[in-house]
Amino acid sequence: MEAIERSKILAKSPAGFVTRLARPVMEKYGVHVLRQPAKTLVMIRMRETVAKADFYLGEMLAVEALVELEGQRGFALQMGDDTEKALAAAVVDAVCQTELPERQAVEQALAEQGRALQEAEERARARHAGTRVHFETLDEFD
């Protein structure tokens, strides 16, 4: 699993799920915290659709953490202010870059969670599809 996909799944997952993945690894191995979870602000970049120009909408509160596990670094940047989830996500990121026996189980759990999140998004999209406005067809009724 690619790091970007892993980060998206970890960001969308509940804190309890992420913590349950990381806790056994944190208890069994020496996880060295290189950067304690700390709150930060991140600029939100958007794209204006007509001119196709990027602009910054504003700032968002986030937490970042950096750990090292078995010589591999793990990083997490999580929206919100949950420092425990950010630390756990960094540990999960590090595990996925090692050859530890726990790696396969963690990656499998992430893949299953990714599928569940995608199915939930598709159900929500389908639920709201009936209320979507098609502006390009509005003037056909005049």
Q: What's residue 130's pLDDT? A: 80
Contact 76, 64 (CB under 8 A): yes
The predicted model scores a pTM of 0.85
Rounded-to-integer distance, Cα 139 and Cα 142, Å? 5
Residue 52's pLDDT is what? 87
Does the pLDDT at position 4 exceed 70?
A: yes
Residues with Cβ within 8 Å of residue 141, at least 6 apart in sequence: none
Residue 141 scores a pLDDT above 60? no
Residue 15, judged by CB atoms within 10 A of its CB (0-12, 13-18, 19+), counts as middle
